[in-house]
Chains A and B, each alone.
Chain A
Amino acid sequence: MNVLSQLKEQIAATLPNLDLVIGWERGFDPLHHTPLFMRRPEDVERLVIDALCVHNLAVYLPGLKNKKVGVAVKGCDSRAVNQLAREGLIKRENVVVFGFPCDGAADLTKVRRQLGDISGVQSAALEGDLLRVVVDGKERETPLKDVLADKCLRCRYPNALTHDHFAGEPREARVQTDDYKDVVDFEALPLEARFAHWQQEMQRCIRCYACRNACPMCVCRDHCVAQSRDPHWVTQEDETREKWMFQIIHAMHLAGRCVECGECQRACPVDIPILALKRKLNKEIRELFDFEAGVDPQAVPPLLSFQVEEKNINERGW
């Protein structure tokens, strides 16, 4: 029995005890899957799992806090479940997690880059290691690994870290450690170059807040400081400074919380590489507090702990 049918069986068996189960289904075109909210047994038939299941469905959980919810998760998504539960933003006992081995998710920007304009795509098929699409009657193909999201290439957790059901066999992780080489390389650039880079990127921001809305850890919703007058942290002026400020606030609010699902960057309609900001903070958090959000459900997040003297912060000796 393949992973999908096993997963469908597990969901169908559990659904009667739940208000709903969240998964993925085919969207408006063959390359765009969309979240599927399964309430009736027949809904389960529409479930799909493959490299196009890009969304982190944990994002819906805080809003469904008092419901019994099932959710299908990739490895990275499961970290969000752990972290949300650890922060008391969801009740873990109200959530049934369906895990499966994830082979990586496609980055549609990369697909576009590899295969050109895909707006008129008629069919898409994943055959082995190949992604084959038919656009305007013409068949095009690319090796799947060339269009996988960057986060998948350095993925250490392909299997759900927390789950109540698991379909299929756990798969081997692509890499064992994350050396944050991207962050290190970028930081090696001169200050001016880095400043220029972010100025260039941030001025393209249209402040649509897609990054924030896709982020499973952004729970303020209608009360985001980016849009509030009191407190008035950022203005609505159309200036790079304000956009940048918003992105920095987003990154800072995720310090010690970001699970690196990359949803912010995926959701960005203008492809600003904002995950880099969060990875920079995660690198610092790992070095200072030896903490990775959502990996160990029992670990105390640094923001919620207090030591008179932190092991890795030299507060006195300078």
Chain B
Amino acid sequence: MKIGVFICHCGSNIAGTVDTAQVARTALEFPDVAFATDTMYACSEPGQEAIVQAIKDHGLDGVVVSSCTPLMHEPTFRRTVERAGLNRFMFEMANIREHVSWIGKDTEANTRKAAELTRMAVEKLRRNMPLFAKQFEVNKRVLVVGGGVAGIQAALDCADGGREVVLVERESTIGGKMAKLDKTFPTVDCSSCVLGPKMVDVAQHPKITVHALSEIEDVKGFVGNFEIAIRRKAAYVDWAKCTGCGLCMEKCPSRKSLDRFNEGVGTTTAINIPFPQAIPKKAVIDPAFCLKLTKDKCGVCAKICPTQAIDFKQQEALFTEQVGAVIAATGYDLFDISKYGEYGAGKLPDVITGLQYERLLSASGPTGGHVQRPSDGREPKTVVFVQCVGSRDKSVDRPYCSGFCCMYTAKQVILTRDHIPDSTSYVFYMDIRAPGKMYDEFTRRAMEEYGARYVRGRVAMIYPKGDKYVVRGADTLMGTQVEVEADLVVLAAGAEASQGAGKLAEKLRISYDKYGFFLESHPKLRPVETNTAGVYLAGSCQGPKDIPASVAQGSAAAAKVLALFSKDKLENDPMIAAVDIRRCVGCGKCIQVCPFKAIKEVDFRGEPKAEVIETVCQGCGLCTATCPQGAIQLAHFTDNQILAEVNALCLA
């Protein structure tokens, strides 16, 4: 075998602390190395051409490039060696930038280590085999999980691109958090007026199927061929018959049901359509409050329903959908404000979350758009807004900024003045974060035109005094203590990962961070992709986001899906597991640990043996680590290749 070695300077990134010429000279002494040189930028066009030329001039069978991380440029160099006529797996990369030059300043030690890592790559390459991809069909349907604004946008864009879309929503209606908002910043236009038409588009689009009141039960398969099991919860109403007329809501005697859509501000009926613009506009019975389901009494809705849609015996349903790609758009949930005991959150009735306040402001809310205190219905004259409740606070394990609270608080301040012209608003804040287009101007308007009193400092405690609440905090600009007697306190509750986000991520086999937000493939360059092929992200499930950013991500994810679906066939990655059936004892441990269900048991002359389904295997290597016999080897990462690397390092 003839191997060529290229040691990259990466400008001064590597050459600054590694003697690259010396590494190249050392590499010439490694077994099978026929050519070695250092090069300014291996990835640049002349750099790549030099590699192609060397392969031709020296008749090389394989190439090692010692440069940056393979995550960045391995695909680049694989294409390079392919251009020169080699199989693209006859290439190895040693990372002498992140692993060497960037982490140490001692040139002598760095040079030695760079040579050792290069030697590892050479030893591995000596055992590489040419590998060839296999092609498989793509199912060009897409699943969107979550029907908030990001999911809606993604679904519409995919459907407009001509692809069939399955939209799964946990609640009985799509719309998500945005449907609960009264107005949106910085334009103060009506939220449901902007979102409503989009929701109608989803309902009417011939390419979109909406499964509301449903959750993802299980995900099998892989990019191009996912099989999604979906669990539809019991609505106790036959939606095929329900016309959404709302008669049942008028007659339902159980009026103390938790009003989830209104964030628990006020109550609703046990049979319920969350809001007038709901899509699908279908009634759902809350089994915890329905008299028929709890006490076997009543049944008024069944009597009154003009289409006989009520079905108290309805069960959960489990069904599957076949799709080729998945967009996760599960959004966020609010931080549980009751963790701030010192604010009386969860105990004092007039200390509420920003989202609850939205419902008080909304004309379709429980108070018809009249701002009233939940406790006594009185109109508040002094409203205190507290920022960063569950954001930027390590003590509650929420060190991150929720991003949009500064802006919605400014909006709520403006709306409060609009609703109650003689009211005064106070805002306790840490910093104002308003980096978007027209955002800073908007917060300035809240302060300057709407007379909101912005106090820079944290609130220490909130306690009742008469029928008011004393908000005690610091004004760090004035260096004084502040006490405000408030009628209503609105806590800007931070955003956290949607409930059950972690479980969904595990089903989708994507990563999530310690707070439950899904992890993108690259924070800058691959923001809507995940490390699982065919699974994309949109909206706040990836991190707190405002509406414009969520919509942009919805469209971006849709673009990724449409690009994926532009090919009729996909190629698998040939770095997959293979079973040596002579060694396999048929214990089936590999089958049990395979997260992709890519291994099946086959009968070989009466003996059970494992067999890898080549297009399903993702090459994760779990089976190879599990197999006690070493009967399963991962192509391109065989035991012998890894051992050769270890030995190269130990011998050095």
Q: How far is the CA of A86 from the CA of B441 in the complex (A)?
A: 67
Is A219 a contact of B585 with CB atoms below 8 Å?
Answer: yes
Chain B residues lying within 8 Å of A87, measured Cβ to Cβ, are: 587, 589
A313 within 8 A of B: no
* CB proximity of A202 to chain B, nearest CB, Å: 19
Binding site secondary structure of chain A? loop
8 Å CB contact of B592 from A221, A233, A304: A304
A199 within 8 A of B: no
Q: How far is the CA of A232 from the CA of B641 in the complex (A)?
A: 10
Q: Please encode chain A, from 212 to 232, with 1 for each CB lying within 8 Å of some chain B CB and 0 for all others.
A: 000000011101110010111
A196 within 8 A of B: no
Residue total for A at the interface (Cβ-Cβ under 8 A): 22
Whether A231 contacts B638 in the complex (CB less than 8 A), given A66-B606, A220-B583, A308-B502, comes out as: yes
The residue on B at minimum CB distance from A88 is B588
Is B589 a contact of A304 with CB atoms below 8 Å?
Answer: yes
Interface-facing stretch out of B79-87, B210-218, B323-331, B626-634: B626-634
Whether A306 contacts B593 in the complex (CB less than 8 A), given A223-B583, A232-B643, comes out as: yes
Q: Please encode chain B, from 614 to 652, with 1 for each CB lying within 8 Å of some chain A CB and 0 for all others.
A: 000000000000101111010000111001000000000
Chain A residues lying within 8 Å of B639, measured Cβ to Cβ, are: 231-233
Most chain B CB neighbours (cut-off 10 Å) among A220, A230, A231, A306: A231
Whether A230 contacts B640 in the complex (CB less than 8 A), given A66-B606, A220-B583, comes out as: yes
Is A89 a contact of B640 with CB atoms below 8 Å?
Answer: no
The residue on A at minimum CB distance from B588 is A88
A46 within 8 A of B: no
Is B502 a contact of A89 with CB atoms below 8 Å?
Answer: no
Q: Please encode chain A, from 82 to 125, with 1 for each CB lying within 8 Å of some chain B CB and 0 for all others.
A: 00000111000000000000000000000000000000000000
B347 within 8 A of A: no
* CB proximity of A82 to chain B, nearest CB, Å: 15
Q: How far is the CA of A219 from the CA of B584 in the complex (A)?
A: 10
Is A88 a contact of B630 with CB atoms below 8 Å?
Answer: no
Residue total for B at the interface (Cβ-Cβ under 8 A): 23
The residue on B at minimum CB distance from A308 is B506
The residue on A at minimum CB distance from B591 is A88
Q: How far is the CA of A171 from the CA of B639 in the complex (A)?
A: 48
Chain A residues lying within 8 Å of B588, measured Cβ to Cβ, are: 88
A1 within 8 A of B: no
* CB proximity of B503 to chain A, nearest CB, Å: 9
8 Å CB contact of A89 from B585, B593, B606: B585
Whether A232 contacts B640 in the complex (CB less than 8 A), given A223-B631, A253-B628, comes out as: yes
Is A304 a contact of B630 with CB atoms below 8 Å?
Answer: no
Q: How far is the CA of A228 from the CA of B506 in the complex (A)?
A: 37
Chain A residues lying within 8 Å of B465, measured Cβ to Cβ, are: none
Q: How far is the CA of A89 from the CA of B592 in the complex (A)?
A: 14
* CB proximity of A257 to chain B, nearest CB, Å: 9
* CB proximity of B482 to chain A, nearest CB, Å: 38
Chain B residues lying within 8 Å of A220, measured Cβ to Cβ, are: 583, 585, 628-629
The residue on A at minimum CB distance from B631 is A223
Chain B residues lying within 8 Å of A188, measured Cβ to Cβ, are: none
A316 within 8 A of B: yes
Q: How far is the CA of A46 from the CA of B631 in the complex (A)?
A: 41
* CB proximity of A249 to chain B, nearest CB, Å: 9
Whether A303 contacts B626 in the complex (CB less than 8 A), given A88-B587, A223-B583, comes out as: yes
Is B587 a contact of A89 with CB atoms below 8 Å?
Answer: yes
Q: A223-B582, A253-B628 are in contact. List 16 more A-B contacts (CB 8 A).
A: A87-B587, A88-B586, A88-B587, A88-B589, A220-B583, A220-B585, A220-B628, A223-B585, A225-B629, A225-B630, A232-B640, A232-B643, A233-B630, A233-B643, A303-B589, A316-B514
B→A interface (CB under 8 Å): 502, 506, 514, 582-583, 585-589, 592-593, 606, 626, 628-631, 633, 638-640, 643
Q: Could you list some 7 contacts between A and B, CB below 8 A?
A: A87-B587, A88-B589, A89-B585, A253-B628, A304-B593, A308-B502, A308-B506
